[in-house]
A and B are shown apart, each in its own frame.
Chain A
């Protein structure tokens, strides 16, 4: 009978489980919780690159896990912490609550969330002000086609994503105060089909430049842009490698740089729990053009855009930041 078979399976499993000895390493260890697949060529891929940079530059042990739901966040935080990981990074705004919930039980582990505002003795947010770059991209879109429309497609409507869209729109309106920008969310991070469909709908309503911030679903946006012959902007990572003919430029975070800096502080015992902000002025955030499509941007526009980026870096232009 099946029942007996399963019972046997459990017996075998328990026996094996008994044999298993937990290897408690004494070295410094860093873990990453990604909310999506590290193959997304964007938000999660960038974080994984950051994790590998920590491994290579600091010579420490690293581990990564894909987690989708708050219970999974908590389970993974808890498991890494109890196994003695000194730094556990929850990659996104959505990891704050789980980090705050688990942190008191593991005072010797630092929980870092990439975005958010939650601070505890061993919990801190690392906020990437991608808004700096998306502001510049919005301006670029409005300058390229002053009588056109721009749009943005997001995964879920969360502050860290919404903030990039608000800044994108502000940038466009910086060029032309009544420049229309439409925003659409697909309600998840994986559904390429939904992203493509949402983008096509926006294009049908006149959108000519589309910015995506939908992680693994992002390629769906690029696909729609390619199909209709419009240009798209990438986010978080250099994304013209994903869609060389569609991605004009990307708002990029140098996550490896930021991760290595934080990890070094934690390793050296210098870490202090406080919100850490990375901006264009720090060089962590940047706009990267697709060299293959350089000709699309006229020289004068390019000049103005570069000037605006410089102003953002110098903080002479106010970029709206999301309240996290």
Chain B
């Protein structure tokens, strides 16, 4: 969840906290880092490595960025923003207009990419996907756990924090800009499957797909990834309409194939908070009381999908003729 610049901006409720930009620094070609503080110097909400915040820019757009600073400093957050020419303006606003002193709203923190215990970590970053891995690396060091980082990017100057990483951690860091090395040689670098090792990867979809393929022979749950956008999933299980019952009001609404469950239940008067509407942030999670969901999000873990007791109505649908939601 590094930057959802390619997603449409969605209206959302007011953020919970307004911070101030204390510093804006260029940390690589096309990447600026923002240091955010509370206007009155207050302590900020705690977070753990892998967490992200929703950043609500003064022009109203909302984007999600991984926290890449130091959690032992409770008074500032740090995020790094890649300029995405194909984006819809969020990153351009940060690069071109946002200035020290400006207010920004934040929501969160959320963490769908937590660092689980392991004997050894292999971190794989693609481009700006380095951001959630930075605090993980710091944490692995603190716990004295062996780790290695494979860091790819288009060109060396485009790779944020490369000097900091190389200077601080030396031989554990493997910088592999594509114009010097070509595509990452994942099979060689990952080596043989090892039950004590966890592989953490964040980056663009093609890198994630390649890492997933390279880890196919690894023990289940070894690989942990975070996507920039929701995973591409197959067509919905049902191509026909289904009914959703709102248990608290007793109302029932028909969800046709061209409408999301979220919009359908809102039309029936249910109040559901949502954010990304792409199945990546988890804000709109609702309990399922009956029926079988067709999960199409990138948030729930496999065991949470299997439990079938909640769904993200912005993208997920129904396998059964009827779903009963706790709304």
A binds B: no
